[in-house]
């Protein structure tokens, strides 16, 4: 500097003054850029905050809207179900009313038949009582046989009276009647066929008893024949009483018997699970078709699938939020990188050689 002349010193001072002015302008410009950067960062953060808030509001509105839509759809489904149930109950009511009308008509048709049947039972009972009284009269009227044949001795009359009162073996009478177990569903033999079989069996037994081999010794043949006629009449009367009593008992058993009706149930019914290997009470049981249970299972499956879809959507939403947060972090890192670059640019010194 000692070798510089006055002009060179002025030039150097002028250069230093210009350098100072340039540095001042550079510092002022740097401060302006920093202020503008802070302003832009503040605006960016405000915009990001506003965007996040708006996004949360929109998502909350979306969730509420979907919830409201689902609630309204559920109301619609319930109303449809109520209408279907009401329609089904109406159809069922009409069917029951039709069945009730048919049952009443059938009952009205059966009324006269029941009255006639009761009259027949009453008439049969009266005939049995009359036949029993007639049989008792025939037993008491054996004294007329003695008056008809006064020549027979008292011992012979007593023997004939015992033979007259002796009853047929019960087993033979049952075999003759050809009884069969009562079966309301099977083919029942007619009264005429039973009577015919009983008469044939009785005739065979009476022919055996009327044989002269069984005639007491010392008795005339014409007296024996008359005795056989009386005894045959008594046996036929007893047979008639027995057959009428059997018919009356069958009538009464038929009216008193509760017929078991076999119902054909559709396939696919839900059976009650047995408790302790035996079902005691059916009070809490319902006869349901398997289709009802399958419909309920289908609805449960549909609702379960809807729940799974909602959970998947919630999971996707969380993934979206995380992705947005990651992008936000990346943007902040880019902003920090730009700030660092700007700081480096501002701190970079421009020499005269670079300016040249």
pLDDT given at position 207: 67
> What are the φ and ψ backbone dihedral angles of 269, each rounded to 5 degrees?
-90, 150
More confident residue, 227 or 56: 56
Which segment of 21-30, 178-187, 293-302 scores lowest on mean pLDDT? Answer: 178-187
Q: Residues 161, 144: contact at Cβ < 8 Å? A: no
**pLDDT confidence tier of residue 77, bands split at 50, 70 and 90:** very high
pLDDT tens digits, residue range 289-308? 778 888 888 999 999 999 99
pLDDT given at position 175: 39
User: Whole-angstrom distance between the N-terminal and C-terminal Cα of the chain?
Assistant: 24
**pLDDT confidence tier of residue 91, bands split at 50, 70 and 90:** very high
pLDDT tens digits, residue range 129-153? 777 776 666 666 565 556 666 666 6
pLDDT tens digits, residue range 35-54? 999 999 989 999 898 899 99
Note if the pTM is more than 0.85. Answer: no
Q: Where is 33: in which H helix or E strand?
A: helix 6-140
More confident residue, 221 or 108: 108
8-22, 241-255, 259-273: range with highest mean pLDDT? 8-22
Q: How far is CA 285 from CA 63, 272, 274, in A?
A: 43, 7, 12
Q: How does the average pLDDT of the chain come out, rounded?
A: 76
pLDDT given at position 249: 77
Number of other residues whose CB lies within 10 A of the CB of residue 244: 20
pLDDT at 311 exceeding the cut of 60: yes
Q: Residues 123, 186: contact at Cβ < 8 Å? A: no
Q: How far is CA 276 from CA 181, 270, 279, 280, in A?
A: 37, 19, 8, 10
pLDDT given at position 161: 67
């Amino acid at each position: 500097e000692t070798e510089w002349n006055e002009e060179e010193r002025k030039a150097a001072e002028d250069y230093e003054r210009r350098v100072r002015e340039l540095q001042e302008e550079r510092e002022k410009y740097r401060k302006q850029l920093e202020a503008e950067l802070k302003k832009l960062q503040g605006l960016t953060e405000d915009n990001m905050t506003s965007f996040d808030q708006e996004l949360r509001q929109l998502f909350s509105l979306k969730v509420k809207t979907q919830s409201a839509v689902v609630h309204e759809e559920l109301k619609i489904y319930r109303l449809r179900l109520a209408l279907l149930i009401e329609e089904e109950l109406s159809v069922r009511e009409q069917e029951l009313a039709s069945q009730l009308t048919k049952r009443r008509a059938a009952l009205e048709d059966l009324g006269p038949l029941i009255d006639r049947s009761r009259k027949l039972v009453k008439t049969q009972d009266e005939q049995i009582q009359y036949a029993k009284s007639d049989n008792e009269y025939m037993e008491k009227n054996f004294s007329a046989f003695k008056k008809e044949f006064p020549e027979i001795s008292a011992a012979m009359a007593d023997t004939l009276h015992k033979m007259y009162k002796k009853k047929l073996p019960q087993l033979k009478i049952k075999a003759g009647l050809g009884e069969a177990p009562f079966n309301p569903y099977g083919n029942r033999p007619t009264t005429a066929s039973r009577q015919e079989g009983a008469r044939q069996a009785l005739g065979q037994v009476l022919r055996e008893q009327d044989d002269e081999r069984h005639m007491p010794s010392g008795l005339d043949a014409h007296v024996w024949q008359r005795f056989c006629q009386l005894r045959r009449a008594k046996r036929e009367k007893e047979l008639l009483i027995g057959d009428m009593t059997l018919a009356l008992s069958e009538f009464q058993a038929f009216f008193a018997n509760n017929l078991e009706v076999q119902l054909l149930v559709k396939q696919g019914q839900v059976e009650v699970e047995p408790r302790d290997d035996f079902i005691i009470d059916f009070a809490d049981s319902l006869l349901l078709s398997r289709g009802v249970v399958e419909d309920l299972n289908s609805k449960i499956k549909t609702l379960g699938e809807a729940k799974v879809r909602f959970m998947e959507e919630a999971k996707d939403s969380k993934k979206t939020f995380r992705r947005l947060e990651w992008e936000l972090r990346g943007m902040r890192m880019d902003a920090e990188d730009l700030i660092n670059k700007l700081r480096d640019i501002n701190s970079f010194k421009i020499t005269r050689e670079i300016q040249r």
